[in-house]
Amino acid sequence: MYITISDASREYYLKDKGKMTALHKVNLEIEEGEFICLLGPSGCGKSTLLNMIAGFDRPTSGSVKIHGEVVTKPSENRITIFQNYGLLPWRNVLRNVELGLEAKNISKKERRQIAEEYIELVGLSAYKHHHPAQLSGGMQQRVALARALAVDPEILLMDEPFGALDAMTRMSMQDEIERLWQEKKKTIIFVTHDIEEAVFLADRIVIMTPSPGRIKSIIKVPLARKRDRTGNDFIKIRDRVFEEFGFKDTAEVDFFI
C-alpha cells in the first residue's frame, strides 16, 4: 500500500489543561493516485493527521509510512497547500510559481518554462506579471496550486484550501482541482468540513469523530466525473454522509462550522 497509517495517536501536553489527545489509534490505507477527503467537525484532528503525513508532526504512538518508510520529516515529494495561500506578496505570479523550483537548482530558463506551463494549466497566463494583491482569492489559490504542481510532488496535501472563498468561487475551485487531479493523477489528501465538497471531490470520504479524532467510517464515492451536484446519486451519497453524523437534514450543517 502506498500510504499506511497504523494505530497513529497524537497527544499534546498543555500547560493549563494537561494531556490532550488529538488523534487516537487511527488506521488508514491510501492507494497511489487516490483522492481522499478527511471530513469532520472542527477540532477532530483532520489537520493533525494531515501534518503527520506531511512530516510536519509525528505520532506519539503508531506510525505513518509512505512506500513502506516511516515519515519523520517533510519532503519535496509531499507538498501542502493551506487556506491562506502562502504567496510572497513582493513576487509576481511567475516568480511565486518558480519559488519551489529554485530550491531544486533548476536553471533560470527551465524554471521559467515550467512555471509558465503550470500557470497556463490553471488558466492564469494573462496574469503572470500580477502580484498577489492584484488577484482575487480564487486566483491566488490557483497560483498556490500551480506552485505546488510545478515541483512535481507525488502527494498533494490540502488543508481546507477553499475555506475562505465565497460559495461560487469555492465551487469553481472544486471544479479546478478535480480537473487538475484528472490530468496529473497525483495522490491528493484533502481536509474539509464541507460534506458536499467531499462528495464532489473524493474517491473515498474518511469520516472522523469529534476529539479525540478517530476514523468512524469510510464511504466510497463511485460516481463518474464530472459530478452533478444536483443528481440523485450525488444526493444519496451526501445524505448517507449526513446520516453518519446523525444529521436529519442539511439545516444542521452548522455543526461543522
- Region class of 233: left (phi > 0), else alpha (psi between -120 and 50), else beta: alpha
| pLDDT band, residue 250 (cuts 50/70/90) | low
Task: Give the per-residue pLDDT at 37.
Answer: 97
* Residues 206 and 38 sit within 8 Å (Cβ to Cβ): yes
The answer for residues whose C-beta is within 8 angstroms of residue 30's C-beta and 6 or more apart is 1, 2, 3, 4, 36, 187, 189
Q: What are phi and psi of 49, to 5 degrees?
A: -65, -40
pLDDT digits (tens, 9 = 90+) for 2-38: 999 999 999 988 777 778 889 999 999 999 999 999 9
pLDDT digits (tens, 9 = 90+) for 207-230: 999 888 999 999 999 999 889 999
Distance CA 43, CA 51 (A): 14
Say how many C-beta atoms besides its own lie within 10 A of residue 178's C-beta. Answer: 17
d(CA 149, CA 114): 10
CATH superfamily, domain 1-75+153-162+187-245, is P-loop containing nucleotide triphosphate hydrolases (3.40.50.300)
Question: Model-level pTM?
Answer: 0.88
DSSP 135: S
**pLDDT > 90 fraction of the chain, expressed in percent and rounded:** 62
Using N-to-C axis directions, what is the helix angle for 137-150 and 93-102, rounded to 10°? Answer: 30
Question: What are the residue boundaries of the structural domains of the chain, listed by start?
Answer: 1-75+153-162+187-245, 78-151
Chain Cα centroid distance, residue 166: 18
End-to-end CA gap in the chain = 33
For residue 39, give the nearest of 235, 223, 252, 217 by alpha carbon. Answer: 217
Measured between alpha carbons, how far is 13 from 21 in angstroms, rounded to an integer?
9
Neighbours of 245 (CB within 10 A): 18
Q: Is 180 exposed, middle or buried (0-12, 13-18, 19+ CB in 10 A)?
A: buried
